[in-house]
Amino acid sequence: MNAKRQVVVTGMGLITPLGLDEQTFWQNMLAGRSAIRRISAFDVAELYKAKNGAEVDSEQLAAALEAAKIRASDRTVDMGLLAASAALASAGLLDAEGRCTEKGVATIIGSGGGPILTVEEGYRRFAELGDRGMRPTSIIRGMLNVICSHLSMRYRLTGPNYMVVSACTSSTNAMGIAFRMIRDGYADRALCGGTESFFASLVYRCWDKLGVMSTNPDPAAASRPFDTNRDGFVLGEGAGMLVLESLEQAKARGAVIRGEIAGYGESSDAEHMTRPSVEGQVRAMRAALESAETSADEIGFVNAHGTATKTNDECESKSVREVLGGSADRVPVASNKSFFGHMLGASGAVETAAALLGLECGRVPPNLNLVNPDPLCNLNLVGKDAIDVNASVVMKNSFGFGGNNAVLILRKAPVG
Amino acid sequence: MTRPEIGEKLRQVMKESVRKELDWQNVTENSRIAELGFDSLSILDLVYDVQQAFAIDFDAEELVGVRTVDDLVSFLEARLQ
């Protein structure tokens, strides 16, 4: 096996409630525009306690699918296909027919629910029509890996091809696994990231019943990470995909290098299904720093998990402070979820893209709605305006139900 | 439902069900279904979509002998009577 190789990002694709392309997404973030509205996918007037969401614009999504000649099938698959296309195209890896020009590209994708909207529709048809309502292809439409399989087939990605399922850490785990594959020589390139949607009446109601989402009547004010008056997360949807490759391979073909995945750490709390643990999170962050052969002193800003639940933000603040130590009062911390809510399995990938964009242009978007910082969240929290930073290293946290912790260390380009 | 109505409706169902880009101008009654981009898997979806659209039930095995679009129209016409 080769010595450890450097792993760089050469492509990005984003389908988000803040825009269906990288530039629109980033400009909206820097301008402090929230994507959170009252949910439109189904009627939330009655029954639902949490009525806010960050949805991808359905008309824009349909237009993008048509332009890409993608037949709409499942919203989560569709968003993943579009984000993957943008990532591969921006990496310069698609030929005129939209097929990948390189052999053996891995496809490692995270999603908490996978094609759960299709599964819900299947149950609905069965409830309405009985056996006659059951599609003969329900299995191949509803299996989790329908997502990565569609990506692999459409773009001819012939390397390892599977899903990573770990709730809200899914796509961060997926990127971390892809990073290790390339670093250790098992693949030269990977498409990795996540895609997620839970905006259908039944599966959304499952979240609603869990009582972890904000019931704030004002959509734009509902997602308030680290604020004293936060009352839960807002659900978002979207897809984020990155192309990773070894530094040598990227240089050899003259690819534009957007940044480096410098390290990855992961851990399990092994304690509780929903209550996070400082100890588990700290272990993941320290493992990531060790993997990147760097230290907390090098971190220029932290892209937080920051869900805006009471429990997460307090626990994450303690963990980050413990890891940053003496740097904790200096290092800016922000949660992108104040803009587009919690994309669950896709959140890590979309937020990693935002962190890379922040490194590129030396800006950290604000923590929207941070009016009264919670004294229990004792960090150097970015306020209501974007700030300038001179950072070359970022820590990206993702934590998930089930006690999963995944952390990436990103480094600014140029690298090498 | 008249035969031309069945034919037109079937055409719409097939358009929505098939995953391949097709030039529907060139699809005639004599076009063979297997040549329209349906394979052993997607034909299952077509059967389902036809059943839902025409609100009828039949087993896929009953389509043995159905080769062309016209054959399928005849099959549906018989079922709908």
Residue showing tokens 């590209």: A105
Task: In whole angstroms, give the CA distance from residue B37 to residue B20.
Answer: 6
**Which residue in A65, A173, A185 sits closest to A110, CA to CA?**
A173
CA angle A230, A234, A235 (to 5 degrees): 160
B chain contacts of residue A74, beta-carbon cutoff 8 Å = none
As a 3-state breakdown, chain B gives helix, strand, coil percent values, each rounded to 5, of 65, 0, 35
Collapsing DSSP states into helix, strand and coil, what is residue A273?
A: coil
| Domain boundary residue, one of A200, A231, A252 | A252
A196 CB-near residues (< 8 Å, 6+ apart):
A76, A111, A112, A113, A170, A237, A238, A239, A343, A344, A345, A346, A347
Report how many Cβ contacts below 8 Å link chain A to chain B.
18
Asked if A392 and A409 touch (Cβ cutoff 8 Å), the reply is: no
Domain of residue A372 covers: 264-411
A37: β partners: A53
A168 and A290, same domain (yes or no): no
Q: Are A75 and A197 in contact (CB under 8 A)?
A: yes
A136 vs B contacts (CB less than 8 Å): 44-45, 47-48, 60
CATH number at residue B19: 1.10.1200.10
ipTM: 0.82
Question: Residue B45 and residue A69: Cβ atoms within 8 Å?
Answer: no
Closest-CA distance, B2 to chain A, in angstroms, reads 25
Instruction: Output A119 or B21, whichever has higher pLDDT.
Output: A119
Largest CA distance in chain B: 33
State mean pLDDT over A222-232: 98
Of A64, A203, A73, nearest in space to A147 by CA: A73
Cβ of A136 within 8 Å of Cβ of B51? The answer is: no
Beta bridge partners of A404: A268, A400
Averaged pLDDT score across all residues of chain A: 97
Block residue for tokens 């529907």 = B24
CATH number for the domain spanning A154: value is 3.40.47.10
Using the 3D structure, point to which of A252, A287, A304 is the last residue of a domain: A252
Between B18 and A297, the higher pLDDT residue: A297
| CA gap A232, A156 in Å, rounded | 41
Angstrom CA distances, A242 to A8, A61, A346, A348, stand at 10, 19, 12, 11
A285 shares a domain with A141: no
Amino acid B23: pLDDT? 80
The three-state secondary structure class of A263 is strand
pLDDT at B18: 82
Q: Is A414 on the interface with B (CB under 8 A)?
A: no
- What's the mean pLDDT in A205-228? 98
- Tally the residues of chain A: 416
Using the Cα atoms of residue B52, residue B54, residue B57 and residue B63 in order, give the sign of their dihedral.
negative
Number of domains in chain A: 2
* Domain limit, last residue, from A202, A217, A252: A252
Count of other CB atoms within 10 angstroms of residue A196: 33
Pairing of strands A404-411, A7-15: unpaired
User: CA–CA separation, A413 vs A416, rounded Å?
Assistant: 9
Say if residue A36 is in the same domain as residue A152: yes
Please tell me which residue of chain B has the smallest CA distance to A134: B48
Which residue from A353, A218, A243 is spatially nearest to A10, judged by alpha carbons? A243
pLDDT at A1: 47
pLDDT category at B25 given cuts 50, 70, 90 is confident
Residue A229 falls within a domain, yes or no?
yes
Residues of B with CB under 8 A from a CB of A: 19, 21, 41, 44-45, 47-48, 51-52, 57, 60
Pair A135, A141: CB distance under 8 Å? yes
Q: Where are the beta strands (DSSP E) in chain B?
A: none
Interchain contact A140–B (C-beta under 8 A): yes
**B44/A190: higher pLDDT:** A190
Same domain? A236 vs A279: no
Task: Determine, yes or no, domain membership for A258.
Answer: no
Contact by Cβ (8 Å): A201, A285: no
The arithmetic mean of pLDDT across residues A193-206, rounded, is 98
Same domain for A292 and A231: no
Same domain? A196 vs A129: yes
How far is the alpha carbon of A327 from chain B, nearest alpha carbon, in Å? 55
pLDDT tens figures, A301-337? 999 999 999 999 999 999 999 999 999 999 999 999 9
CB contact under 8 A, A137 and B41: yes
pLDDT of residue B20: 72
**In what helix (H) or strand (E) does residue A58 lie, and over which residues does it extend?**
helix A58-67
Kindly state whether residue A95 falls inside one of the protein's structural domains.
yes
B11 is in which domain, residue-wise? 3-80
**Average pLDDT of the residues in B45-59:** 92
Residue with tokens 């390339």: A182
Instruction: Give the pLDDT band (50/70/90) at residue A416.
Output: low
Q: Could you tell me the pLDDT band of residue B26, with boundaries at 50, 70 and 90? A: confident
A373 burial via Cβ count (<10 Å: 0-12, 13-18, 19+): middle
Residues A122, A218, single domain; the answer is: yes
In the β-sheet with A7-15, what is the strand arrangement from edge to edge? A161-164, A106-110, A189-196, A238-246, A7-15, A259-268, A404-411, A393-400, A301-303, A332-334, A380-381
Looking at the fold, whether A233 and A279 belong to one and the same domain comes out as no
Q: What is the CA radius of gyration of chain A?
A: 20
A336-345 pLDDT, tens per residue?
999 999 999 9
Facing A137 at nearest CB: one of B45, B52, B57: B45
In the structure encoding, which two tokens stand for residue A156, read together? 């001819």
A175, A224: one domain = yes
Residue A259 lies in a domain: no
Mean pLDDT of A146-154: 98
Same domain (yes/no): A187, A318: no
Instruction: Judge whether A128 is closer than 8 Å to chain B, CB to CB.
Output: no
Alpha helices in A99-244 (DSSP H): 116-129, 138-142, 146-155, 170-183, 201-210, 219-222
Q: What is the pLDDT of residue A145?
A: 98
Determine whether the interchain pair B41/A140 forms a contact, defined as Cβ–Cβ distance below 8 Å: yes
Please tell me the total count of domains within chain B.
1
Indicate if the pLDDT at residue A2 is higher than 60. no
Q: Are A78 and A111 contained in the same domain?
A: yes
Q: Are strands A161-164 and A235-236 parallel, antiparallel or unpaired?
A: unpaired
Does the pLDDT at position A357 exceed 60? yes
- A63 and A205 fall within a common domain: yes
The reply to whether A269 falls in a domain is yes
Chain-centre distance of CA B76, in angstroms?
9
Cα separation, A381 vs A370, whole angstroms = 9
Active site residues of A: 168, 305, 342
Q: How far is CA A240 from CA A76, A236, A246, A262, A347, in A?
A: 11, 13, 20, 19, 8
pLDDT tens digit sequence for A366-377: 999 999 999 999
Q: Which residue has the tokens 């389908």?
A: A15
Nearest to A71 among B19, B41, B47 (CB): B19
